Amino acid sequence: MSSSDLALSVYGLSKAYTIAHNTVERHVTLAEAVLHRLRRPFHRADTETFWALKDVSFDIKKGEVVGIIGRNGAGKSTLLKTLSRITEPTAGEINLYGRVGSLLEVGTGFHPELTGRENILLNGAILGMTKAEVRKQFDAIVDFAGVEQFLDTPVKRYSSGMYVRLAFAVAAHLESEILIVDEVLAVGDAEFQKKCLGKMKEVATGGKTVLLVSHDQRSIADTCRKTLMLRSGRIEMIGTPAEVFKHYASVARPERRTGVTYGRNLGNDAEICDPVMGSATYFSDEPIQILFSVLKKKQQPRTLNAIAEIVNASGQIVTVVTSLQCSVIIENGLQRMRFIVRSPRLRSGRYSINLALEEPETLDRIDDALRFEILPPRDRAHGGFRLLHDGSIVHADADCEIAAA
Partner 1 sequence: MSDAQTLTAPEPRALSADHGARPAPPYDTDAPALSVPAPKPLLTIRPRSGWSALNLRELWQFRDLLLSFASRDLKLRYKQTALGVIWVVLQPLMAAGVFSFVFGKVAKMPSDGVPYFAFSFAGMLGWNLFSNIVTKTSGCLLGNQQLISKVFFPRLVLPLSNVPSALVDFAIALAMMGVLLVTYRILPGWGLLLLPVWMALIVALAVGVGLISSALSVSYRDVQYILPVALQILLYASPIAYGVSAVPQRWRNIYFANPLSGLLEAFRWSLLDRGQPSPASIAYAAAATVGLLLLGAFSFKRMERRFADVI
Angle in degrees, 0-180, between the axes of helices 160-172 and 131-145, rounded to the nearest 10: 140
- Per CB under 8 A, the list member of 67, 70, 75, 89 interacting with partner 1 is 89
**Residue range at the interface with partner 1 (CB under 8 A); choices 156-164, 293-301, 322-330, 368-376:** 368-376
**Amino acid, res. 95:** N
How many residues interact with partner 1 (rule CB under 8 A)?
A: 82
What is the rounded distance in angstroms from the CA atom of residue 202 to the CA atom of residue 192?
15
Contact status: 58 vs partner 1 (CB under 8 A): yes
Interface with partner 1 (CB under 8 A), residue from 25, 45, 62, 92: 92
SS3 353: strand
Question: Which residues in 230-269 contact partner 1 (CB under 8 A)?
Answer: 234-239, 243, 246-247, 249-251, 259-260
Residue 86 in the binding site for partner 1 (CB under 8 A): yes
In angstroms, give the least distance from the CB of 152 to partner 1.
13
The per-residue DSSP string of 300-323 comes to -SSPPEEEEEEE-TTS-EEEEEET
- Based on CB atoms, which residue is closest to partner 1, 27 or 257? 27
Stretch of residues binding partner 1 (CB under 8 A), selected from 126-134, 136-144, 210-218, 324-332: 126-134
Give the footprint of partner 1 on residues 208-227 (CB under 8 A). Answer: none
Among 97, 138, 283, 385, binds partner 1 (CB under 8 A): 97
What is the C-alpha to C-alpha distance for residues 368 and 355, in angstroms, rounded to an integer?
8
How many CB atoms are closer than 10 A to CB 27?
A: 15
Part in contact with partner 1 (CB under 8 A); list of ranges 83-91, 142-150, 196-204, 264-272? 83-91
Closest approach of partner 1 to the CB of residue 155, in Å = 13
Looking at the Cβ atoms of 202 and 255, the one nearer to partner 1 is: 255
* Contact set for partner 1, span 276-305 (CB under 8 A): 276-277, 279-281
Which residues, at least 6 apart from 197, have a Cβ–Cβ distance to it below 8 Å?
A: 185, 219, 222, 223
In degrees and rounded to multiples of 5, residue 118 shows phi and psi of: -65, -40
CA-to-CA separations, 242 to 74, 314, 349, 394, in angstroms, rounded: 20, 8, 12, 24
